[in-house]
Structure 1
Amino acid sequence: MVQTKGPTRTPGEVRLSARERLLNAAGELFYAEGVQTVGIDRVIEQAGVAKASLYNTFGSKEELVHAYLQARHERISGRINRVLDRYPSPREKLLAIFEAQGEIFGDPDYHGCAFVSASAEARPGSSVVEAVDDYRAWVRGLFTDLATQLGVSEPATLAQQLQMLYDGGGLSARMDRDPQAWQASRAAAAALLDTALLDRPPDTALLDTALLDTATAER
Structure 2
Amino acid sequence: MVKTSEARARLLGTATRLFYMEGLHSVGVDRIVAEAKVTRATLYRHFTGKDELVVAYLREADQAIRDRVGEAVGSGRPAVEVLRLIAGGIAQDIGSPGFRGCAFLNAVAEYPDPGHPVHQAVLAHREWFLLTVTDLLSQVGQPPAEFEGRHFVMLRDGAMAAGCLSDPAAVGETFLRGIEGILRSRTDSRVSTA
TM-score of the superposed pair, with normalisation by structure 1:
0.79
Q: Which has the higher helix share?
A: 2
Q: Does 1:171 align with 2:171?
A: no
| Within-5 A mapping of 1:79-98 | 79-83=68-72, 85=74, 88-98=77-87
Deviations for 1:137-170, whole angstroms, at most 9, x for unmatched residues? 1210121110122242321111001111111221
**Aligned equivalent of 2:25, options 20, 26, 36:** 36
User: What's 2:104 paired with?
Assistant: 115
User: What's 1:217 paired with?
Assistant: none
Query: What is the identity, as a one-letter code, of the residue corresponding to 1:181?
Result: V
- Contact kept? 1:80, 1:101, Cα under 8 Å: no
User: What's 1:146 paired with?
Assistant: 136
Hey, what's the Cα distance between the residues in 2 that align with 1:179 and 1:41?
37
Query: What is the identity, as a one-letter code, of the residue corresponding to 1:44?
Result: V
| Within-5 A mapping of 1:1-219 | 17-83=6-72, 85=74, 88-122=77-111, 124=113, 125-200=115-190, 205-206=193-194
Query: What's the CA shift for 1:62?
Result: 0.4
Count of residue pairs the alignment pairs up: 190
Query: What is the identity, as a one-letter code, of the residue corresponding to 1:131?
Result: A
RCO comparison, higher one (Cα < 8 Å, 6+): 2
Hey, what's the Cα distance between the residues in 2 that align with 1:161 and 1:79?
21
TM-score of the superposed pair, with normalisation by structure 2:
0.88
Q: Which runs of 5+ in 2 are unaligned?
A: none
Taking only aligned residues, the RMSD between alpha carbons, in angstroms, comes to: 2.1
Deviations for 1:172-209, whole angstroms, at most 9, x for unmatched residues? 2111132342221121221222223333497xx44xxx
Hey, what's the Cα distance between the residues in 1 that align with 2:73 and 2:190?
24
Query: What is the identity, as a one-letter code, of the residue corresponding to 1:176?
Result: S
Bigger Rg, which one: 1
